[in-house]
Chains A and B, each alone.
Chain A
C-alpha cells in the first residue's frame, strides 16, 4: 500500500514538474525539476515508511506477546463492582477513618487449566478439562486507617473505588485528546516554515473539509463503544465480536462511498468553507483538493485523509 502510494506520488510529481511554468524562489523550495534526486527521495521515503511500519508492528507484537495465540481474554481487570464503600468521620476529630469492608474482584480467564491447579476450578462431570474455566476470587478485607486531619488527606481519603474508577477512565482519554492539538500545532509550524501563506491556507481548508467529513462518520465509534461495552461487561464474547465486525463492515461501506464522492466533486465540499462576502479562491481550493483526492484515494480504517498541496504549484491535470 505504501509502495503504491509512493508510486502515485511519483506520478503526480512528474506530472507537476512537466507542466510547471515559471517558478519563484519560494516555489523552487517545494517543487524541483524532475531528476534522479526525486527517485532517490521517493525511495528513501518508502524505506522510511516501511521501517516505521516494521517498528510499530514489532512494538505491538512485543507488548502483546503474551496474548498472541491465546483465546479471547479480556485485558481489563478493573474492579467494576464496588460494595460497601464508605468513610466515617472520627468523633474525636483526630482525623478521618477509612473502613473498607469488601471488594469483589472478578477475573475471568478462558483457556485450558494449567496442570495441578485444582483450586476454584470447574471441571466437567467426567473430570475432563473444559474448554473454558472461570476463576472467581472474593477478597474480604476489613481495614481501619486513621489519617491526620489535613485538607489534602481529607479530600484524598474521600475518594473511594467508584471515584478511582472514574479517574482511571477519564485521565487516559484526557491525555489522548490533549495530544491532538499539539500534533496539529506541530504540523502547522512546519508548514509555516515553508514561507508560503497559500500553503497554510490550503492546509487549513483541507483540514476543515476533513473535519467535516470525519464529523459525519463520528457517530459510528460512539455507538460501537457503547455496544461493545455492554456485551463485554456481560462476558458475551460472540456479541462483542459481532458488534465490532458489523461496525467495521458498515464504516468500510460508508467511507468508500465518501471517498468516491470526494473524488467525483471536491468543489462541492470546498464550498462549505467559503464565507459570503469574503475573498476565497475557490479555483485554487478546487485544484488542491483534486490533487489531494488523487493523492489519497485510499482510506485508513474507515476514514479518508487529505494531503494539502498548494494550488500555485499545481495545474489541472488529467490522469
Chain B
C-alpha cells in the first residue's frame, strides 16, 4: 500500500513538473472497463478459494475545458465470483456492485496522447451472497460504503489537435478499494414462499453466514471515448 502511494505521488510530481495542459473545450467522457479486485479478507479467500474477483465497469464523466486537469466522474462497477467449495458440495455465488461519485486529476503530455492520472471515488457498495447445498439455495444482501483511489495512465489513440470531436484512448489504473464489511446475517431460502402456504406450510429460519470484508487492491483496463463539446 505504501509502495503504491509513493509511486502515484512521484508520478504526479513528475507530471506537475513536466506536464503541460492548456485550456480547451469541455468534454464528455465515457469509459468501459474490465476490472479485478484482489481481496485481503480471510473470509473472501475461504469463500472463493482464490483471492480475486473480476468484472466490468462503466464510467461517465465531464471534463471542464476551463480546468482540463480535472474531470467529474460517476462510475458503476460490477464484479463477482462463483465456485464450488467443501469438496464440490456447496455452490457459492458472490456479486458486488458499486456506484461511486468522484473525480479524476490528470495532465496531458505529447499533444494529449499520454495522460498520467489519479482517480478518487466514494459511494455505495452492495454485495449479494448465495450458497447452495443439495439443490437448496439461501442468499442475502449486504450494503456498505466504499472508497476507491487509483493511479495510472491513459494513452490517447488520437491527437488532441485532431479536428474530430471524438477521441479514443486506453487506460490502465491500479489502486485500492476500501469498503465497509458486508453482513450476511439473514440468509434466506430463495425457493420457499415468503409466507407459509397450504402447499408449503413450513417456516424456514434464516441463518447468519458471517460478514465479509472485500476490500483490496484493484486494477482496471479501460477504453475511453471523449467527445469534445
Asked if A pairs with B, the answer is no
Interface residues of B (CB under 8 A from A): none
